[in-house]
Amino acid sequence: MALGTTSDRGGSATVAGHAADSPTDIPLQGWKAIARRTKDQVRDDHVSVLAGGVAFYSVLAIFPAMVALLSIYGLVSNPADVARQIDDLSAGLPDEVRRVLIAQLEGVADTSASSLTLGLVVSVLFALWAASKGMKALVEAVNVAYDRTEDRGFVELRLMAYAFTVGAVLLVVSTVFAITALPALGDQLGPAGRITASLLRWPVLAAVMLGGLAVIYRFAPARHSPRWAWVTPGSLTAGLLWVIGSVLFAVYVNNFGSYNDTYGSIGAVVVLMLWLYLTAFVVLLGAELNAEAERQTSHGTGDGSPRRR
């Protein structure tokens, strides 16, 4: 009965959504049971503690990731464009977070190479290695959320962390490049084109974020042959909660918070870590939701992978 049950005419209990082939086939009663179990799993898996660990490693990883981002972007365009575009696109973030990110980006942009050299390759590889530690922490936390016992080897895990890091950097590079190109294209199409180009960047960003979450939920946990359909609930939920949470957090910090008074010169870093904590928490919450949705049906991954119990 714990999974949410209904009774057939003979009086036997069946799980609501047991035969669902996709999340959309699960009835409302089944989703209520999923929500209750997700809440319990967030507590039992100590998701708040896991999110704190991921946020800590993310702080260490975010600045090397910026070096790699701007170094790669400098090969195709002006690195200063990244700082300008992220300044525009991060309007919903707390002012302290924006200032830290933009200041770092501008500092790196001033020294970024614009040609492919051995020094640049070494610098990018080192930056990606440092940034991959944050991804490795996220992979381990998502495994806990999915109740999976890690059965992949050290080399495979390292390669996965590198792949996630490189993929994230290239995704940001391509996204920023596309968003930078959209206004230029819109200017050539007149006032209507400019408005359309300005509006298009938000669906592009939403698609990138949801796609990134789906990839994390699909490949990060130690599962075999998982199905894409079952990463959708967590991706949509985490994406929506992240947007709402980031905006509310920004409103609070910008208008009511006193982190600079309390923490002095490191106030901006504290705010950055809190925002990364919020981000990690909603990502892990989405993973917990996906895991419980799959438990509701016999048509989830169906891979027989060991569960961490």
The predicted-structure confidence for 47-104, as pLDDT tens digits, reads as follows: 999 999 999 998 888 888 877 777 777 666 666 666 666 666 666 667 777 777 777 7
Q: Are 266 and 100 in contact (CB under 8 A)?
A: no
Q: Looking at the predicted structure, is the pLDDT value of residue 14 above 60?
A: no
Query: 12 falls in which pLDDT band (50, 70, 90)?
Result: very low
If you search the block for the tokens 């440092």, which residue do you land on? 130
Query: 3 falls in which pLDDT band (50, 70, 90)?
Result: low
More confident residue, 278 or 96: 278
Q: Looking at the predicted structure, is the pLDDT value of residue 149 above 90?
A: no
Closest CA to 163 of 206, 191, 131: 131
Q: CA Rg, the chain, in Å? A: 21
Pairing state between β 5-7 and 13-15: antiparallel
Q: Residue 48's pLDDT is what?
A: 95
Provide CB contacts within 8 A for 188, sequence distance 6+: none
Q: Residue 271's pLDDT is what?
A: 85
Ranges assigned E (strand) in the chain: 5-7, 13-15
Query: 35 falls in which pLDDT band (50, 70, 90)?
Result: very high
Q: Are 225 and 303 in contact (CB under 8 A)?
A: yes
Least confident of 42-46, 230-234, 269-273, 300-304: 300-304
Q: Are 142 and 160 in contact (CB under 8 A)?
A: no
Q: pTM to 2 decimals? A: 0.80
Query: 123 falls in which pLDDT band (50, 70, 90)?
Result: confident
Q: Are 92 and 247 in contact (CB under 8 A)?
A: yes
Q: Residue 50's pLDDT is what?
A: 95
Q: Looking at the predicted structure, is the pLDDT value of residue 234 above 80?
A: yes
More confident residue, 307 or 87: 87
Q: Are 205 and 175 in contact (CB under 8 A)?
A: yes
Residue 101's Cβ-side half-sphere holds a number of Cα atoms within 13 Å equal to 26
Q: How many helices (H) and strands (E) does the chain have?
A: 10, 2
Provide CB contacts within 8 A for 250, sequence distance 6+: 92, 93, 94, 95
Q: Residue 184's pLDDT is what?
A: 62
Q: Looking at the predicted structure, is the pLDDT value of residue 236 above 70?
A: yes
pLDDT mean over 231-247: 91
More confident residue, 257 or 116: 257
Query: 8 falls in which pLDDT band (50, 70, 90)?
Result: very low
CA–CA gap between residue 114 and residue 166 (Å, rounded): 19
Q: Are 41 and 291 in contact (CB under 8 A)?
A: yes
Of the ranges 62-71, 112-121, 296-305, the best mean pLDDT one: 62-71
Q: Are 294 and 227 in contact (CB under 8 A)?
A: no
Q: Residue 248's pLDDT is what?
A: 87
CA–CA gap between residue 249 and residue 243 (Å, rounded): 10
Residue 1's Cβ-side half-sphere holds a number of Cα atoms within 13 Å equal to 2
